[in-house]
Amino acid sequence: MNFIKRAGLNVWAKKGRSLLLILVSAAILMFVLAGLLIRSAAVKATNQAKADVGATLTLSANRQAAFKKMNQSSSSTTKRSRPKLTLTPVKLSDATKIAKLSHVGSYNVTSSTSVNAKSYDTVSTSTGMGSSGGGPGGMKSAASSGDTQINGVSATSLTSDFSNQQSKIVKGRGITSTDRNTNHVVIEKELASQNDLSVGDTLTVKETSGSKDTVKLKVVGIYRASSSSSSSAGPMSTDPSNTMYTSYTLANTVKGSKYANTADSVTFNVTAPSQVSSVKKSGKALINTSKYTLSTDDASYQMVKSSMASVESFANKIVWLVAIAGTIILALIVILMIRERRFEIGVLLSLGEARWKIVAQFLTEMIMVLVVALVIAGAGGKLVGNQLGAQLTKQTAQTTQVTQTQSGGQNGGQPGGQSAGGHGGPGSRTQSTQQAKLAITVSAVDLAELGGFGLAIMFLSIMLASGGILRLQPKKVLIE
């Protein structure tokens, strides 16, 4: 394999030229790698988004249908009499039917309401006063607003606030299914310390509607809310600390007897994320779809998916454009290089060297260049990829914001968006404002793929240029 030795001697002897080739190749490979990295990051982000949000189904009142009905009735009335939105609470019997479907794991029943503090003082912070938090809807229907938000759940661990670690139990325990039909409550740390309450203590609240009965609650746990979970606070709550978790049965009792065995919404965990749509389909067959909806909380997934799809196609274009342009550039360089080396080729031919071995020598030289260029590109491509990725996600974030303002506006435009006595499911609709972030990492697989691309580019450019070698007549070079 004398041609390998010759290639080595040549690359070493002509250091300046080799360096130039290395830099050009590294620049080309860097952009190919950046494209590859962004593409794989986009794929990863899409998959992650799918895993994050795709695996739950939510059974709730069909707002759209109810809203339509309300508009119809309001248009027939002349005066500005406040139209009434009637949302039918979800029946638990429907939920248990859906829960029996295959691929459905645990499910969480949520029923929310608000009460007024009686035996304790609510937490009020200056920051929360003005804007009344991010309370959805921000409407107060006079009869049903209290200063304490009650989130009735099947189990706190099943709520998104707790499962995504935004809220954490710090003392005692969370609400579980064993708390059904009890007066057990989990209160926020701030509220507990302000009123000197601890696990085992009791507190009393006053219902906001109907008989305005007093209800006695027993503290079984204390949790810490992160400030960002304020979105789940009721409209009147001035602070997320005024949110308590109970079993959904208690929330239903507070709401009134007609709410027994109902819920604001039920969230099902689908054990096989790939089965979500089929479960959704069979679940829909079990419910009255004019009153209820069974929805995938995949708005953010869809958003991530579509923005990542464009990122991915953009990355693909980068890869191919750069690869093609790189091949052309390198081929031109190699053609020039071979012209300059025709005497060397002539000497080789006069010694009786096979033409393919001469081509092989040039290819070997390029592969040696490639190896060094790969190392440089590996380091540089991450940088370029990060820059490009940041640029791309910035654009993505802008689109995300636009879509969110749109959907937000819609919510606000629904007067009485909260069911009578209820205040939007806690965490059932936590907007997972998950930003589609591109995690740019250079893996061995990426480098291998890049190496493949580099090899293909080198091979093609040598092949394009080797026509000259294969046609070269030694006599022409050496004698004329």
Partner 1 sequence: MLKTKDLGYWYQTANEPLFKNVNLEFETGQSYAILGHSGTGKTTFLSLIAGLDQPKAGEITLDDRSLKQIGLTAYRRHHVAIVFQAYNLFTYMSPLNNLMTAMAITNASHAGDTDYARQILRNLGIGEDQMTRNVQRLSGGQQQRVAIARTMACDAQLVVADEPTGNLDEDNTRAVIAQFQKIAHDQHKCVIIVTHEPDVAAQCDHQFRLENKQFKALDPA
Residue ranges that bind partner 1, judged by CB under 8 A:
2, 5-6, 9-10, 13-14, 343-344, 346-354, 473-475, 477-479
Residue type, 64: Q
Q: Residue 22 Cβ, how far from partner 1 at the closest point, in Å?
A: 17
Q: Which is nearer to partner 1, 28 or 348 (CB)?
A: 348
Contact 334, 462 (CB under 8 A): yes
Full DSSP string of 341-401? THHHHHHHHHTT--HHHHHHHHHHHHHHHHHHHHHHHHHHHHHHHHHHHHHHHHHHHHHHH
* CB contact set of 279 (below 8 Å; sequence gap of 6+): 57, 101, 102, 103, 104, 268, 270
Longest distance between any two alpha carbons in the chain, whole Å? 115
Full DSSP string of 123-174? ---HHHHTT-TT-SS----GGG--SEEEEEES-GGGSHHHHTTSEEEEEE--
Q: Residue 327 Cβ, how far from partner 1 at the closest point, in Å?
A: 26
Q: Which is nearer to partner 1, 352 or 409 (CB)?
A: 352
Q: Which is nearer to partner 1, 3 or 292 (CB)?
A: 3
Element (DSSP H or E) covering residue 90: strand 90-91
Main-chain dihedrals φ then ψ at residue 421, nearest 5 degrees:
85, -20
Element (DSSP H or E) covering residue 244: strand 243-247
Contact 61, 292 (CB under 8 A): yes
Q: Which is nearer to partner 1, 321 or 470 (CB)?
A: 470
Q: Which is nearer to partner 1, 260 or 470 (CB)?
A: 470
Q: Which is nearer to partner 1, 10 or 151 (CB)?
A: 10
Contact 368, 24 (CB under 8 A): no
Alpha helices in 164-213 (DSSP H): 189-194
Q: Which is nearer to partner 1, 354 or 390 (CB)?
A: 354
Nearest to residue 136, comparing CAs of 391, 437, 427? 427
Q: Which is nearer to partner 1, 12 or 320 (CB)?
A: 12
Q: Residue 440 Cβ, how far from partner 1 at the closest point, in Å?
A: 40
Strand, helix or coil for residue 264: coil
Strand, helix or coil for residue 407: helix
Q: Which is nearer to partner 1, 6 or 91 (CB)?
A: 6
Q: Residue 363 Cβ, how far from partner 1 at the closest point, in Å?
A: 17
Q: Residue 455 Cβ, how far from partner 1 at the closest point, in Å?
A: 24
Q: Which is nearer to partner 1, 77 or 473 (CB)?
A: 473
Contact 270, 103 (CB under 8 A): yes
Q: Residue 16 Cβ, how far from partner 1 at the closest point, in Å?
A: 12
Main-chain dihedrals φ then ψ at residue 91, nearest 5 degrees:
-85, 135
Q: Residue 464 Cβ, how far from partner 1 at the closest point, in Å?
A: 23
Contact 43, 441 (CB under 8 A): no
Q: Residue 34 Cβ, how far from partner 1 at the closest point, in Å?
A: 34
- Taking the C-alpha atoms of residue 235 and residue 414, their distance in angstroms, rounded to an integer, is 14
Strand, helix or coil for residue 220: strand
For helices 355-412 and 15-53, what crossing angle results, to 10°? Answer: 30
Q: Residue 343 Cβ, how far from partner 1 at the closest point, in Å?
A: 4
Q: Residue 477 Cβ, how far from partner 1 at the closest point, in Å?
A: 7
Q: Which is nearer to partner 1, 346 or 381 (CB)?
A: 346
Q: Which is nearer to partner 1, 320 or 356 (CB)?
A: 356
Nearest to residue 183, comparing CAs of 164, 162, 205, 166? 205
Q: Residue 362 Cβ, how far from partner 1 at the closest point, in Å?
A: 13
Q: Residue 346 Cβ, how far from partner 1 at the closest point, in Å?
A: 7
